[in-house]
A and B are shown apart, each in its own frame.
Chain A
Amino acid sequence: MLRLEGLACGYGLFRAVSELDLEIPRGTITGLIGPNGAGRSSTLMCVAGHVDLQAGRIVFDEHDIGGLPATERVRRGIAIAPEGRRLFKDLSVEDNLRVGGMIHKANLFKADRDYVLALFPRLGDRLGSLAGNLSGGEQQMLSIGRALMARPKLVMIDELSLGLMPKMVDLCYEALLRLKQDGMTILLVEQNTDRVLSVADHVCVLESGRTVWSGSAADARKDPELAAAYLGLR
C-alpha cells in the first residue's frame, strides 16, 4: 500500500532521514521504532506532506504522491494522528471530529462519528467539551478519532503511549487491533517497543535517520542483538 523508496527528508538544509526504504502492506500494522532523533516523526510528517521530501519516492496505492500537497494526500487516503496530538484545542470534541471529516460530505458525519465513538466510547460523554480540557488519554483517542474521520486507508499514529496512563494505553491499543480487524493499515511510531511488538506485523528500526533493521515483528523478537541494541529487550 505504502512504499518509501530511498526516502530522504528534512527541514531546509537539515536532513532528518536518509535513504529510508520501507514497504507497508495493506491491512497490517507496521511499527517504526528507534531512539529520539532517529527521524521517525519526520518520516510520518513527510508522508503526510509537511516535511520536505529531499530525495526518493513516496508511492501510495502505486502512485507517486511525493509532489502532492498535504490537502491532496488526505484525499488519497492518508491521515495522521501527529506527535503531541495537535488537537484544535479551542474547538469542541465534536468539532474536532468534524474537521477530521471535512473532505467528505456533511451527511456522512454522523455515521463516521458513531464509528469513532464505538471505538472510543469515552469520547461520547465529552462531545461538547473543548479538546484542550480533555485528559491526555482522551486527547490521544480524539487525535486518532479525528484521523479516522477522514476515512483513510492508512492511518499514521505518532507516539501513541507517550505520557499516558497504562489503562489509557491499553484502550488505545485495543482500538488499534479493532481497526486492523476492520482492514485498516496502520503505521505506528512508538517509544514503547514491547507494546509495538505486541501488535505489529512488521517493524522498521531507525537510527540517525537510517534504517538499521527491517523485518517481521516475530523476527525482531528473536534477534538477540537487535533486541539488546535497539529494542531495550533482553
Chain B
Amino acid sequence: MLYVELIAQGLIQGSIYALIALGLTLVYGLLRILHVAHAAFFTLGGYVGVMVANQTGSLAAAIVAAMIVAGIGGILVFRLCYQPILHQPPFVPLIASIGLYIAAEELFRIVFGPSGLTYKYAFLQGQVIAFGSLRFKEAEIAVMLGSAAIIGVLSLLQTRTRIGVACQATVSDPQMAESFGISLRKVGDINFFVGSALAAFAGVMVSVLNNMVEPTMGSVPSYKALAIIVLGGLGSVRGTLVAALVLGVVESFGTIYLGHFLDRNAIAFAFLILVLMWRPQGLFARS
C-alpha cells in the first residue's frame, strides 16, 4: 500500500509540474525559445489568488482572476518582450527571459514584501477524504482533478476546434501556417495566454496547499519545468505530460529511498541526467 500511496503523491506533484511545464512547451513549440520567465506567472497566479481569495472569500473567483491576469500578462510578455527580438539569435530571447524572471521576482518582493502572504480562509484544508486506506487532503484531490480536467479540455479544444488545429499547424510549420492565412501573432497570443493561465492555476493550487505565497516560490518550479520539457522531448505536449508525471513519481519514491543522502531536487536532476544518457532527445522527441 505504501507504493500506491507514493505513486498517488507523485501523481499529485506531477500534475502541478505538468501544468507549469505545458506552458513552457507551448511557447517552445511555437517560438523555439526557452521561456524561463514563465515561472513568474506561477508566482503571479499565487499572489493574485491569495489577494482575491482574501477579499472575496471565494477560491473559484481567485482561480479565475489569477488565470485571467496571468494570461493577459503572458500576452504582454509575448508582444512587448519576445516579438521584437524573435529575429535575433536564440540566446538573445533566452537572456531576455532570464532577466525578465529576475526582474519579476524582485518586483514581487518590492510590491508584496519579502515575507510572503497567507490565506485568511482555510480553503480545502483540514478535511481528509479516504479511498480505501488511502487518505488525501481535499486540496490534493482538487489539484489532481483540476489538472486532469483542464488538460482534458485543452486537449479537446486543440483537436476538435479550428483554432486548435491552427495552433497545432503553426507549431508544426509556422511559415506554411502563414501561407494559409494563420496569424503567428494570434497563435502566439493564444499560446502565451493559455500557458500563463495554466501556470497561474498551478500557482494558486500550490499556494493553497502550502498556505503561503512568496516572491521566490517560482524558482524551483522554473528549473524543474525546464528539466521536464527536456525530458519529454522539447516541444512535445504528450512528452511533457508523461515526463511531469514520471518525475513526480520518481521524486516521491526517491525521497523515501534516497532522501537520507539526496535532496528531492537532486533526485529529480539525477533522474534527468540518467534518462538523457539513455535518450538524449528526450522521451518523446518531436518528429
A229: Cβ under 8 A from any B Cβ:
no
On whether the beta carbons of B172 and A89 are closer than 8 Å, the reply is yes
Number of residues on chain B facing chain A (CB within 8 A): 18
- Can you list, as one digit per residue, whether each of A94-131 has a CB less than 8 Å from chain B (1) or not (0)? 01101111110010000000000000000000000000
A90: Cβ under 8 A from any B Cβ:
yes
Contact residues in A for B183 (Cβ distance below 8 Å) = 71
On whether the beta carbons of B178 and A71 are closer than 8 Å, the reply is yes
Number of residues on chain A facing chain B (CB within 8 A): 29
On whether the beta carbons of A102 and B173 are closer than 8 Å, the reply is no
Closest Cβ of chain A to B36, distance in Å, is 26
On whether the beta carbons of A91 and B178 are closer than 8 Å, the reply is no
On whether the beta carbons of A88 and B173 are closer than 8 Å, the reply is yes
User: Given B166, B179, B286, B287, which contacts A70 in the complex, CB threshold below 8 Å?
Assistant: B179
Contact residues in A for B166 (Cβ distance below 8 Å) = 99, 102
On whether the beta carbons of B179 and A74 are closer than 8 Å, the reply is yes
B162: Cβ under 8 A from any A Cβ:
yes
User: Given A50, A89, A132, A150, which contacts B180 in the complex, CB threshold below 8 Å?
Assistant: A150
Which residue on chain A has the smallest CB distance to residue B181? A103
B-side interface mostly: helix
Closest Cβ of chain B to A148, distance in Å, is 11
Residue of A91, A101, A102 ringed by the most chain B CB atoms within 10 A: A102
Name the interface residues of B155-196: CB closer than 8 Å to any CB of A. 162, 165-166, 168-169, 172-173, 175-183
A141 CA to B121 CA, complexed, in Å: 61
22 contacts between A and B (CB under 8 A): A49-B179, A69-B178, A70-B179, A71-B178, A71-B182, A74-B180, A80-B179, A82-B179, A86-B173, A86-B176, A88-B173, A90-B172, A90-B286, A91-B168, A91-B172, A96-B169, A98-B162, A99-B180, A102-B166, A102-B180, A102-B182, A103-B181
* Chain A residues at the B interface, C-beta cutoff of 8 Å: 48-50, 69-71, 74-75, 79-80, 82, 86, 88-91, 95-96, 98-103, 106, 132, 146, 149-150
